[in-house]
Structure 1
Amino acid sequence: MSQPEAGRLHGAGSAGEGPAARAAPRPPAADLPVDVQAVGALQGFWLPEPGISLEHCVWRLGAQPLGEGWDNVLWPVGEADGTTLVARVVRRRSARPLLAREVTVLRHLAARSDQLAMRVPAPLATAKDALLIPWLPGITAAEADSAGRIRAGEQLARMLAQVHSSEVPLMERSTVRGVPLSTRAHAFAEDLERAELPPRCEAHAVDRWERGLAARAWTGEDLLLHGDPHPGNVVVDDAAEGNRVVAALIDWGDTTAGDPASDLGALLLHGLGAAPLETYRASASWEGIEVDEIWGPLVARAHAWATRMALSLTGAYPSNHPLGQVAGRLLRG
């Protein structure tokens, strides 16, 4: 499971900074070290996206990154029209394909960004191992109060319906998202053993997993997926428009095409029961969504994916971390 966007639940100076955020696990060592000199050198090599001009940008390189995640560093490099600009720079060679997929899908969505239920990072320019995007301020849905999580979950359900119902761009596929559940059985067993759940919770987790495995496999067309829309990759900003949550869906490095059950499993991690799934079904337009014989097995697989993801989060985060709390709520349910 990929970790949340750098600068959210990881790293000093992030929107999620606090006791729980400081308890986050340390990312693996970088084999593409990112420092102020390397990021500063990008300024002369940015290639703007079509229709984007960088002439009005005020370049002001930050002394420190906004945060560092498993695969990327987010470094402030300037501003444009009052918005902070950040360089999303790859820190591990293995993450280069993830950034390439992310750029592909963000370009694909940019043409219809004003129609989407949530904001997404807008690609402004690219350079070697780097993407220039506006900083989307706020806290993660994992850190929001229950009302904020509910509103963000509703928006996410509509957003996933739109993404899944759109054309799939040509890109490399993920080996861990949108795939048959059976291919993740070994990982499930390992995470279940490490989790050391109370007997009742373990039995519940195994039951949901086995029901998903027994459900009819996905036989439809591969759908466009975000890949990892868990509560750490949804950013909410309560202050933007009064009390209405304005949400953004970030960290598209795991984007792929395949069975939508894995995305819907992450939707269930938002802890809102069956309501978001019904919102999703009412909003999606992919072929077969209205057929109960397709929908029922999809829901069973989604619950299995949610359990699998919660176990993964439990192994990665302490119980007092926002994502550890997300996992605990689902596994106790």
Structure 2
Amino acid sequence: MMIWNVALPDDWESRVRSALANVRDDLARGALHPLGAGMESVALRLDPPDGDGGTSFVLRFPYNEDGAEGIACEAALLPELAEHLPLPIPRFAFTAPNPLGPGEFCCYPAVPGESLSEEDWHRRGLLDEPAPIRRIAALIDAIHAFPVGRARELGVPESDPRAEFGERLDLLRAEVVPALPSSESRTLVAAFEDYIGDDACFDYEPVLIHADISLDHLLVTGTDVTGLIDFGDTTIGDPDYDLCYLWSETGPGFTQRLQELRGVPFTDRLQRKLRFWELADAAADVLHGIEHGHSEFRDESLAVLRGLLTQRGSGSNAEASHGYTADVR
């Protein structure tokens, strides 16, 4: 979900054009523009040469093995998943050997709409418009309705959140806890232990989930959502997890309205899980910054984590501890 800058090698453009020429020479002559980067891949936009009509494409290049595995999974899943969804998603034109890292890169016609920051969503009042929340509800339900057995056949991995968060807690104890004040470290460890030890948190029927539904991945045209991108984290897992980034970015009020539209209860248990996942995601960002030597990203993520720990340790109510009210940001 997080968008941050990654330095491309000096000769990135010549490498990319050469890779494109090996597949489609016409694309190698297009105009290339960096779009942004996540934790596992960098994206470029490929527009037709000046004055030429035609289709714009998005190119995604993984720069680690996780990113390469994600693109391979998308290449198998998305052609079938697209037929089940009410809005456009990436439809790969091709994958080819990656000139900037491991595995293969993908190329797909640009999905309709604009990627907006969280701030722009709020500034434009899109969370209060009737269309976006209906589109998001329909997208989540349609993804979750995709046959799980077929997803497994297509190679979609299945998550084991209890084991995964247990492993993350071990890393946090080693890498992050020593850097925190004792009160914050106790709050962090207790939050993980409470989640991992609560059987109710793992009482769910596994479904296909996007696992990264954030506002910047919901493409917007006017005041409506017109596409969904970035399926690199797709897995079979807890359906509630598809709410975690929306909860962080929009607050409890929007999440509750979304659940009401879907006909799904907005329970205390759900809210506890979402608050934990928000905390765990910030902790994962800190670990990522440490592991990859991104000191600025590490420090920014640590500040977010400490703010969440302070709110959590204050004993305030759910919405106050989240840092939002239902209707005001």
TM interval, short-chain normalised = 0.5 to 0.7
Counterpart Cα distance in 1 of 2:81 and 2:271 = 26
Any residues of structure 2 matched to 1:88-103 within 5 Å, and which? 88-103=60-75
Report Cα offsets for 1:172-207 as digits up to 9, x if no partner: 4165769664454335556763784895x8777666
Counterpart Cα distance in 1 of 2:127 and 2:13 = 35
The residue aligned with 2:274 is 302
Unaligned runs of 5+ in 1: 12-25, 47-53
Any residues of structure 2 matched to 1:98-137 within 5 Å, and which? 98-113=70-85, 115-116=86-87, 119-128=88-97, 129-136=104-111
The residue aligned with 1:148 is 126
Contact 1:270 1:326 in 2 (8 A): no
Counterpart Cα distance in 2 of 1:307 and 1:181 = 12
SS across alignment from 2:249: coil
The residue aligned with 2:207 is 223
Query: Offset at 1:302?
Result: 3.0
State the structure with more CA Rg. Answer: 2
Counterpart Cα distance in 1 of 2:306 and 2:227 = 24
Considering Cα pairs closer than 8 Å and 6+ residues apart, tell me whether 1 or 2 has the greater RCO.
1
Identity %: 19
Any residues of structure 2 matched to 1:112-261 within 5 Å, and which? 112-113=84-85, 115-116=86-87, 119-128=88-97, 129-136=104-111, 138-146=114-122, 147-148=125-126, 155-168=135-148, 169=151, 170-173=154-157, 181-187=165-171, 189=173, 193=177, 196=180, 209=192, 211-213=194-196, 214-231=198-215, 233-237=216-220, 240-241=221-222, 244-246=223-225, 248-261=227-240
Counterpart Cα distance in 2 of 1:98 and 1:259 = 18
Counterpart Cα distance in 2 of 1:325 and 1:161 = 34
SS across alignment from 1:65: strand
Contact 2:157 2:235 in 1 (8 A): yes
Counterpart Cα distance in 2 of 1:205 and 1:266 = 19
Any residues of structure 2 matched to 1:258-277 within 5 Å, and which? 258-277=237-256
Query: Offset at 1:210?
Result: 5.0
Q: What RMSD in Å do the two structures reach over aligned CA positions?
A: 4.3
The residue aligned with 1:15 is none
Contact 1:215 1:300 in 2 (8 A): no
Q: TM-score, normalised by structure 1?
A: 0.65
Contact 1:269 1:327 in 2 (8 A): no
SS across alignment from 1:216: helix
The residue aligned with 2:326 is none
**Cα separation, partners in 2 of 1:190 and 1:224, compared to 1, 3 Å:** farther
Contact 1:85 1:135 in 2 (8 A): yes
Contact 1:191 1:311 in 2 (8 A): no
SS across alignment from 1:269: helix
Q: Larger % of helix: which?
A: 2
Query: Offset at 1:223?
Result: 0.8
Question: Which of the numbers 252, 258, 279 marks the counterpart of 2:258?
Answer: 279
